[in-house]
Amino acid sequence: MEQIKRFLSDFGLPRIIIAVFLLALFMMAPAVGVNVPDALKDVFNRFGMNGILVLALIPMIQAGCGLNFGLPLGIIAGLLGATISIEMGYVGAYGFFFAILTALSFGSFFGLAYGALLNRVKGGEMMIATYVGLSSVMLMQIGWLALPYKSAVMIYGFSGEGLRPTISVDGFWRNILDNFMSIKIYDIFDNMVVTISDFWAYIPGIKWYGKIPGNDIGKWLYEPKLIFAFPTGTILLFLFVALIVWAFFHMKTGTAMTAVGSNPIYARAAGINVNRMRTISVMLSTMLGAMGIIVYQQSFGFIQLYDGPLYMAFPAIAAILIGGARVNKASLPNVFTGVILYQGILVMTPLIFNAMLKLDMSDVIRIIVSQGMILYALTRKTKVLK
Amino acid sequence: MKKLRLFLIENSVVITFIVLLAIAIPASKLPGQFLLQEILTRLGRSSFLVISLLLPIMAGMGLNFGMVLGAMAGQIGLIFISDWGVIGIPGLLLAMIISLPISVILGWLCGSIMNKAKGREMVTGYILAFFMNGVYMLFALYAMGIIIPVLNLELLLSRGFGLRNVIDLINVRQCLETFIPLKIAGVNIPVLNYLIIAAVGIFIVWFRKTKFGQDMRAAGQDRAVASAAGISVDRTRIFAIIISTVLAGFGQIIFLQNMGTINTTNSHEQTGLFAIASLLIGGASVTKASIPNALIGVILFHLLFLVAPMAGKNLVGSAMIGEYFRQFVSYGVIALALVLYEWKRVAQEDASRAMLRGGVAPDKGKVNTL
């Protein structure tokens, strides 16, 4: 009994409710005629898309700077990277990595300034972070309009200046990671065909069709039906970045950072430069946010400028909190479970509700679940228990 | 001379905005009479909302981002009276009466939640506003017509339930402004609005002087001391939020009857931002705000609102840049006020810690290491 109680208080009631809710949704799915492989495809896709953005929250939480409501600042760095890469006309993998590198360098500058600011307002970081994020988005609106971008695919056609609100990355690096070693299952003449990227196709059962080049599949006379796809590349990159974050928090700097977050007085007594650690955490957070949005865009297919990033911190924060993070403690398992649970709910609720009630309540449910989770975390006592 | 410098520092935000407007107003080339008319209207329409923020600031709870809850309650009142077809001033009064219990419940909820998150009331209120927005959408888009009967079918979507995106307030549109018609030199003056604002101003001033108001101020200055003096701090704080929420509800009703339409799902979203930005532009801070701050703020904020697009067009050749600049200013001024407030607070904490160490000022490099 005692153990159950402890588990409940550790894991948190809302989290259990959400997990049970999601499980129930998945169990109901076949009964109400929802295509489960399709839903799973979406969940995996969104897992890869949002993973790094959620990961970006870990350093600041661990260093005691709270939930990074200022994530839009990092996202702006990412947008700068993406648009500059397109402006230069770089395509394919080169364009993608150029975008990430540019974004990381902008992110480090922004993070440095943002960190210096947050060091002066200790204890009130979250509210400041919110408004730093919001006002930087607003300031950049002027930037998107006034910066001297020239690329014809990005600027307004009629006036010839100013970027468009949404820019397609088609023809540059759309789905470049998603398609890298992706596992796809097609339905070809009622046969299941499994392809791994551009490798050999395998048909369970009887026949070999020979090579099916993944990208040329549209040239077939008969349009093969995509049943399921697994974005291997995106998820591999996410796992790789997660590994780096994990390794970082097991090195000297990372451990010191955790110490600062757990007990700043003790950390200072141990000779750790508290401000420096906090600045590094903010820089890391901003840089990961910058990288995360580019990975998001390659999956999503579009760069959203102007007020697009305004509320982008909320889904990420809701996800990590659903995964079990607190305002001052977060770990990688929190990120994994959180993203799966949160994105799972985002994918499943509209499908199930549409199928059952002919009613799309997904927006309302999304708002209540995500904001409710943040509210719950804010009202909990933030003492470190273990 | 020293006095002058102090005055300049204390009013730096207001002065900055006056300078900004001194450039922007001539550049916009808008006629003076138009601006005067607009400002008088907007003063009558928005001041009430801004004044609703004052009490929580006095109670030490900072800027009440949870005022949006009150705005939602006000909208619910207006939705019901347009359903029932109640016209004119009685309609507005009925809307206020309907909004009152909803505001009290929401305010109590908001206050209780903020009490659980002492020290970060603002961010909690900010998130609470988003959360309640979800609940409000549940009410407006699903409950109306299914659980709550709606008489006027024109309010509903064609699917038979859920409110339409825009609700026309034809029954009560501008009935306050036209109640006492007064026109001076071609400019309409909304007399009744000003009387209502004066009344709420007098209420605030009176309330501050009551025992309860004094308790509130004490709780705002130092919770521990107030608690030791026998004041129930938590109850006082909840009360401050309830009053603020109720006033915000009334304020939203006044605001929307002037606008003439409700955007069902997002009329309230900008309310908090605009009210808080106005108050701060008027020279208020997170810990100190007065009625003059509110009124000056509304005038300056809305002047900027009016002239920014045209000024942008005439100065830099793009109306959008002017508009984006105005949006940046409304968020930026809140960011600035918050930073100044926290900065001061951290500096004070450092100073008091230094006092504990024996009055030795901490050396420059080590300030803020904690």
Distance CA A74, CA A53 (A): 9
CA distance B160 to chain A (A): 12
Tokens of B235: 């109850």
Query: What does the pLDDT look like over A190-207, one tens digit per residue?
Result: 667 777 655 444 444 434
Place of tokens 């929401």: B106
Distance CA A350, CA B137 (A): 16
Reply yes or no on whether the pLDDT at B342 is more than 50.
yes
What pLDDT, on a 0 to 100 scale, did the predictor assign at position A224? 64
What pLDDT, on a 0 to 100 scale, did the predictor assign at position A25? 87
Q: What's the ipTM?
A: 0.87
What are the C-alpha distances in Å from B316 to residues A146, A149, B257?
10, 17, 36
Task: Give alpha helix (H) positions in B29-176.
Answer: 32-51, 54-58, 67-84, 88-116, 121-138
User: Which residues in chain B have Cβ-Cβ distances shorter than 8 Å to A130?
Assistant: 123, 126
Phi-psi map region of A18: left, alpha, beta (phi>0 left; psi -120 to 50 alpha): alpha
User: Which residues in chain A have Cβ-Cβ distances shorter than 8 Å to B320?
Assistant: 145, 162
Q: Do A375 and B127 touch (CB under 8 A)?
A: yes
CA dihedral sign, ordered B206, B209, B213, B218: positive
Element at B262 (helix H, strand E)? strand B261-263
Which of B123, B128, B321 lies closest to A127 in CB terms?
B123
Specify burial of residue A102 (Cβ count, 10 A radius: 0-12, 13-18, 19+).
buried
The helix/strand/coil state of A192 is strand
CA distance B84 to chain A (A): 27
What pLDDT, on a 0 to 100 scale, did the predictor assign at position A236? 92
Reply yes or no on whether the pLDDT at B231 is more than 50.
yes
Domains assigned to chain B:
14-348 (1.10.3470)
List the single residue in A with minimal CA-CA distance to B115: A379
Task: Give the residue with greater pLDDT, A121 vs B104.
Answer: B104
C-alpha closest to that of B233 among B250, B221, B248: B221
List the single residue in B with minimal CA-CA distance to A318: B127
Helices (runs of H) and strands (runs of E) counted in chain B: 14, 4
User: Which residues in chain A have Cβ-Cβ distances shorter than 8 Å to B315?
Assistant: none
Tokens of A13: 């009631």
Contact A176, A112 (CB under 8 A): no
Q: Do A124 and B341 touch (CB under 8 A)?
A: yes
What pLDDT, on a 0 to 100 scale, did the predictor assign at position A172? 87
Contact A285, A341 (CB under 8 A): no
Local confidence pLDDT in tens for the 386 residues of chain A: 777 777 777 677 778 888 888 898 888 888 888 888 888 889 999 999 999 999 999 999 999 998 999 999 999 999 999 999 999 989 888 999 999 999 999 999 999 999 999 998 888 888 899 999 999 999 999 999 988 888 888 888 777 788 999 999 888 888 888 887 778 777 766 667 777 655 444 444 434 344 444 444 444 445 567 788 888 889 999 999 999 999 999 999 999 999 999 988 899 999 999 999 999 999 999 999 999 999 999 999 999 988 889 889 999 999 999 888 888 889 999 999 999 999 998 898 888 888 887 777 888 888 888 899 899 888 876 554 43
What pLDDT, on a 0 to 100 scale, did the predictor assign at position A200? 45
Contact A108, A188 (CB under 8 A): no
Size of interface A-B (CB pairs under 8 A): 129
What pLDDT, on a 0 to 100 scale, did the predictor assign at position A252? 92
Mutate to test the interface with A, among B131, B304, B356 (most CBs of A within 10 A): B131
The helix/strand/coil state of B121 is helix
Mutate to test the interface with A, among B115, B124, B127, B138 (most CBs of A within 10 A): B127
Distance CA B189, CA B191 (A): 6
Q: Do A359 and B142 touch (CB under 8 A)?
A: yes
Domains assigned to chain A:
11-175+232-379 (1.10.3470), 183-230 (no CATH)
Q: Which residues contact A232 (CB under 8 A, 6 or more apart)?
A: A180, A181, A182, A183, A197
User: Band of the pLDDT at B368, cuts 50, 70, 90?
Assistant: very low
What pLDDT, on a 0 to 100 scale, did the predictor assign at position A153? 86
Tokens of B230: 């026998």
CA distance B130 to chain A (A): 6
Element at B21 (helix H, strand E)? helix B12-28
User: Which residues in chain A have Cβ-Cβ distances shorter than 8 Å to B331?
Assistant: 131, 134-135, 138
Contact A296, A49 (CB under 8 A): yes
User: Which residues in chain A have Cβ-Cβ distances shorter than 8 Å to B316?
Assistant: 146
What pLDDT, on a 0 to 100 scale, did the predictor assign at position A124? 84
Which of A145, A273, A374 lies closest to B127 in CB terms?
A374
Reply yes or no on whether the pLDDT at B370 is more than 80.
no
User: Which residues in chain A have Cβ-Cβ distances shorter than 8 Å to B338?
Assistant: 121, 124, 127-128, 131
For residue B33, the tally of other CB atoms under 10 A from its CB is 11
Tokens of A126: 């979250």
Q: Do A368 and B135 touch (CB under 8 A)?
A: yes
Q: Where are the beta strands (DSSP E) in chain A?
A: 166-168, 183-188, 191-196, 201-202, 225-230, 302-304
Distance CA B261, CA B257 (A): 7
Query: What does the pLDDT look like over B171-223, one tens digit per residue?
Result: 888 888 888 888 888 888 899 999 999 999 999 999 999 999 999 999 988 88
User: Which residues in chain B have Cβ-Cβ distances shorter than 8 Å to A367?
Assistant: 130-131, 133-134, 137
What pLDDT, on a 0 to 100 scale, did the predictor assign at position B2? 77
The helix/strand/coil state of B138 is helix
How many Cα atoms within 13 Å fall on the side-chain side of residue A64?
A: 24
User: Which residues in chain B have Cβ-Cβ distances shorter than 8 Å to A365?
Assistant: 134
Q: Which residues contact A283 (CB under 8 A, 6 or more apart)?
A: A107, A108, A111, A112, A115
Kindly report the average pLDDT of chain B as a whole number.
88
What pLDDT, on a 0 to 100 scale, did the predictor assign at position B129? 94
Contact B331, A135 (CB under 8 A): yes
What pLDDT, on a 0 to 100 scale, did the predictor assign at position A293? 95
Chain centroid offset of residue A146 CA: 29
Q: Which residues contact B249 (CB under 8 A, 6 or more apart)?
A: B70, B71, B73, B74, B77, B96, B99, B100, B102, B103
What pLDDT, on a 0 to 100 scale, did the predictor assign at position A303? 92
Place of tokens 């009013």: B11
Task: Give the residue with greater pLDDT, A210 vs B273.
Answer: B273
What pLDDT, on a 0 to 100 scale, did the predictor assign at position A196? 67
For residue B370, the tally of other CB atoms under 10 A from its CB is 16
Mutate to test the interface with B, among A76, A125, A354, A378 (most CBs of B within 10 A): A378
Tokens of B67: 């005022």
Reply yes or no on whether the pLDDT at B105 is more than 90.
yes
Distance CA B369, CA A381 (A): 24
The helix/strand/coil state of B61 is coil
How long, in residues, is chain A? 386
